[in-house]
Structure 1
Amino acid sequence: MTAVAARPRAAMSEQALAELKALLGDRLSTAAAVREQHGKDESYHAVEAPDAVAFALSTEEVSAVVKVCARHKLPVVPFGTGTSLEGGVGALAGGVCIDVSGMKEVLRVSTDDLDVTVQAGVTRKQLNEHLRDTGLFFPIDPGADASLGGMSATRASGTNAVRYGTMRENVLGLTVVLADGRIIRTGGRARKSAAGYDLTRLFVGSEGTLGVITEVTLRLYGIPEAISSAVCAFTDIRGAVDTVIQTIQAGIPVARIELLDEVQMGAVNRYSKLSYAEAPTLFFEFHGTSAGVQEQAEMVSALAAENGGMDFQWATRAEERNALWTARHNAYYAALALRPGSRGWPTDVCVPISRLADCIIETKRDLAQSTLLAPLVGHVGDGNFHLVYVIDPDRPEEMAEAKRLNDRMVDRALAMGGTCTGEHGVGYGKIEFLAKEAGNAYAVMGELKRAFDPDNLMNPGKVVRL
């Protein structure tokens, strides 16, 4: 799919290039391979390469680069690890990509206050490795080893969100470079505040369209005394989803509930060399004291049995749990392996938990009537599920069918009081859906964008189209 230009693409001037070179030296690249790598995320969206890539190492360097770009009216596209799924890193109007992956410092850890401040390029796995001996961990787990700056910018969540929330609930404060190069700090380490506008929440989920996030202060949690995981197959998908709904409504504090349909389970078995039933399946994880985990497991097991669930298969040892959740996190690649040489069109929606079964079953009915292969997975504990259309982007009829199915799924979710994306973000792939979902508020988003970025230089063409 070809991107719609966010603004006219103008070649970078020799003067701008010279100023950036003077700032960064060899850490500014105009090599074609580097530019192409930074113009692509994990999705089907075409490469939209920037004119140059700036590898920054500090907030001050990011600020200096942005100031050069502001003087020369060059677009700025932030880049963490490139694991986004809706075209969020494509340089639709060229300009400079600011890669923060070298900003890897854990700046401060407070075990007493359960918080940490990191540079934006620190990844979630790096942070948890750093915290390993403190008895604390950071729970937000989108699957990919994404940068914490990128996770903040896209308001990421993941498998643990049902218990620990998303980045929205876990970001306490930010350092951000604005479109004119000013550095601001939002929020703070206090657990509550009634002081002024909540700028932190404004930047969390803004996808680089209002500024470049360079530092993040996050909540931490104590590592649970006991952790147990389980797998349970069901005779049909409604039984699986009804178990989820009843678990949430009963207030059982499960840490993770993941749904994989029969197609995805077959793919996971082959890709990760497992032998689970190829049926609609729930992956559970329980956190707490030994007694609490046992009580949670017994309650959920009883609910599952009432809804057609088969015997629970338990994974209590760390290596068993890791194998189980690694297989879940590799579901995207397992889906692509069903059709070698294919590309993925990943998409997601989120609906109120009471409408989850209806939304999934109607979506599955559409898929049954289509020729496309599209495994389904979901963070169903919070009403969020995903499809990946396994397609050949060079076949227009497949692209058209994927678009038709995706449009129907998103419209269905919106009609049920849901959202066009629970996790992937908007990028430029879901701008039209956001406009439909937000209604008159979409124009207000545009006004905010103009206030923060009057020249439309910050990741133009994403989230709101001016």
Structure 2
Amino acid sequence: MNAPTSLAHVRPEIAPRPVPEALIAALQARFGAQCSTAMAVREQHGRDESSYTEVPPPAAVVFAEGTQDVADALKLASQHEVPVIPFGAGSSLEGHLLAVQGGISIDVSRMNRVLSVNADDLTVTVQPGVTRKQLNEEIKSTGLFFPIDPGADASIGGMTATRASGTNAVRYGTMRENVLALEVVTASGEVVRTGTRAKKSSAGYDLTRLFVGSEGTLGVVTEVTLRIYPLPEAVSAAICSFPSIEAAVRTTIETIQLGVPIARVELIDVNTVRMVNAYSKLSLREEPMLLMEFHGSPAGVKEQAETVQEIASGHGGNAFEWASTPEERTRLWTARHNSFFAAIASRPGCRAISTDTCVPISRLADCLLDSVAEVDASGIPYFLVGHVGDGNFHFGYLIDPDDPAEREKAEQLNHALVARAIALEGTCTGEHGVGLHKMGFLVDEAGAGAIDLMRTIKRALDPKNIMNPGKIFSLG
């Protein structure tokens, strides 16, 4: 396997641009207490959940409380040609929030209102600082819910920016399929709207999809209109243990290929089961496991579950255990969502180099099993979880941040994994986004011609290169 071109991007190139005192003074005059230069605030906005630890923080943080605040901050930054990094919940994993070229952070967490709920049309419009849990709490009385669930209580703006997905994506899709319209502030401070509440449109370029997944490099999202869904009449969850990861993966592949409309199917390897048991005080069987959820009518859920149970039995699945009450389901899914923190707790003082890939479902077993064999041979502690119903899985390599040899070994594993996924006609990232960590891999995946086209779009919308510069691809 050839060495990927992304080796140069393991450590980000830090090249801060000057931030004139005149800009800081102008921001303070316009925003008063909403603008902070306190080091503690700047440091909070200069790190995320990635393994990067040595990037300087932004020079200032503006706490936007409305679209006009965002527009005014961007106009000032544009005048001084200073970078702007949008900030939501700070839960990104690939270095999206880091001020590698300096600049200011615009925190939209105070823009946290649900603006309108249109239950008859199954849509909702929110500000970007609304989190997914907050949204579902506010609309549950309507009998509706928003299904995109990346695990962390991420902000809707951040989920839009990274084209997030999560455990429900196998049935409900990703943010790409569920964002209908946006309000965006461009690099010049202009407020534009894209899309409508209509379910479909053939009108002009699809600017909504252009901004979804742009990771803050084209503008700042200030409103999002989303699809929402009726709460299912019946929900049932089950766990099933398997003699091997391959058996669990084969069960998943057969389930999807048979067209079973399963809502969630998560792989948890034996290492991660042990970590979750210790962290969440559970007593799950310490074997590779699928955690599944079925949505629909009571009869439909029963039929789905019986079909999957039969498939699992054919692959050696055993100890099929049901969690039918909301409390039991919440306990299991909370444990799954806490797997990252369980892994970190298993090795005190460690950092996780977390990575994800996604491949066509028919290639999942090949990609996953080869990757597991590789990391087992390396001796690096790791955790493995996967939204395997759509071919997406996640490794977290647990390293001593002060041991360069461990970091290098983990990065080699990451590079081999992602190169393998691309060779199998998959993608370098199924849901984390490119950020800093996978810039080179995007070149490997998309090709030089596509990257040049992206650069053309970036230069057209952001000619001064102030929107989250140094992310996704270099301007060359």
Q: Compute the TM-score of the two structures, normalised by the length of structure 1.
A: 0.99
Residue in structure 2 matching 1:25, options 32, 50, 57: 32
Give the Cα–Cα distance (whole angstroms) in 2 for the partners of residues 379 and 9 of structure 1.
37
What does residue 470 of structure 2 align with? 461
Letter in 1 for 2:452: A
Name the SS of the counterpart of 1:375 in structure 2: strand
Which one of 9, 14, 22 corresponds to residue 15 of structure 1? 22
- How many residue pairs match? The answer is 464
Secondary structure of 2:378's counterpart equals: coil
Q: Note the C-alpha offset of 1:368.
A: 1.5
Aligned to 2:5: none
- Corresponding residue for residue 195 of structure 1: 203
Task: Give the AA of the match of 2:46.
Answer: G
How far apart are the structure 2 equivalents of 1:289 and 1:23?
A: 55
| Aligned counterparts of 1:295 and 1:194: Cα–Cα separation in 2 | 38
**Residues 49-88 of structure 1, C-alpha deviations (whole Å, 9 max, x = no match):** 1000000011111000000000011100000000000000
Q: Hey, what does 2:3 align to over in structure 1? A: none
The two structures have a TM-score, normalised by structure 2, of 0.97
Deviations 1:337-372 (A, max 9, x none): 111111111100000000001111000110121120
Distance 2:273 2:166 in 1: 19
2:157 to 129, 149, 156: 149
- 2:52 pairs with 1:45: yes
Partners of 1:404 and 1:19 in 2: CA distance: 46
1:119: which partner in 2?
127
What are the within-5 Å matches in structure 2 for residues 33-432 of structure 1? Answer: 33-46=40-53, 47-432=55-440
Cα displacement string for residues 6-39 of structure 1 (whole angstroms, at most 9, x for unaligned residues):
xx42332221111111221011000111111101
User: Is the CA contact 1:81–1:146 (under 8 Å) kept in the aligned structure 2?
Assistant: yes
Q: Which residue is equivalent to 1:448?
A: 457
- Partners of 1:139 and 1:193 in 2: how far apart? 23
1:81-108 Cα deviation digits (max 9, x unpaired):
0000000000111111000000011110
Contact 1:342 1:391 in 2 (8 A): yes
Shifted more, 199-208 versus 336-345: the winner is 336-345
1:245-270: CA deviations, max 9, x gaps? 01001110000000011111111111
Cα displacement string for residues 89-131 of structure 1 (whole angstroms, at most 9, x for unaligned residues): 0011111100000001111000100000000000000000100
Which one-letter code corresponds to 1:273 in the other structure? Answer: K
Counterpart contact for 1:155–1:166, Cα < 8 Å: yes
Deviations 1:416-450 (A, max 9, x none): 00000001100011000001100021111111111
Distance 1:394 1:452 in 2: 40
Q: Which amino acid aligns with 1:16?
A: L
Per the TM alignment, residue 48 of structure 1 is displaced from its structure 2 partner at its CA by 3.5
1:394–1:323 Cα change, 3 Å: same
What letter is aligned with 2:405? E
Cα deviation for residue 212 of structure 1 reads 0.5
State the 1:225 CA deviation.
Answer: 0.6
**Residue number in structure 1 paired with 2:6:** none
Q: Which amino acid aligns with 1:247?
A: T
> How far 1:404 sits from its partner (Å)?
0.6
Is the 2:440–2:473 contact (alpha carbons within 8 Å) kept by the matching residues of 1? no
Q: Which amino acid aligns with 1:203?
A: F
SS of the residue aligned with 1:214?
A: strand
Cα drift, residue 3 of structure 1: 2.2
Paired with 1:11 and 1:412, the residues of 2 have a C-alpha distance of 40
| Cα distance in 1 for residues equivalent to 2:11 and 2:63 | 27
In the alignment, is the contact (CA less than 8 A) between 2:128 and 2:222 conserved in 1?
Answer: yes
TM-superposed deviation, 1:277: 1.1
Q: Is the 8 A contact 2:88 2:108 kept in 1?
A: yes
Which residue of structure 1 aligns with residue 7 of structure 2?
Answer: none
- SS of the residue corresponding to residue 311 of structure 1 reads strand
Q: Is the partner of 1:142 in helix, strand or coil?
A: coil
The one-letter amino acid of 2:387's match is H
CA distance in 1, matches of 2:11, 2:80: 27
* SS at structure 1 position matched to 2:319: coil
Pairwise CA distance, 1:2: 4.3
Alpha-carbon contact 1:120-1:148 (below 8 Å) kept: yes
Look up the equivalent residue of 1:450 and give its one-letter code. Answer: R
Rounded to whole Å, the distance in 2 between the matches of 1:335 and 1:152 is: 27
- 1:336 CA displacement: 1.0
Structure 2 gap ranges (5+) = 1-9
1:215-268 deviations in Å (ceiling 9; x for gaps):
100000000010000000000111100110010011100000000111111111
Q: Is the contact between residue 184 and residue 193 of structure 2 (CA under 8 Å) also seen in structure 1?
A: yes
Equivalent residues of 2:18, 2:82 under 8 A apart: no
In the TM superposition, residue 203 of structure 1 has moved relative to its aligned partner by 0.4
The alignment yields a C-alpha RMSD, in angstroms, of: 0.8
Q: Kindly indicate whether the alpha-carbon contact (under 8 Å) linking 2:93 and 2:354 is maintained by their aligned counterparts in 1.
A: yes
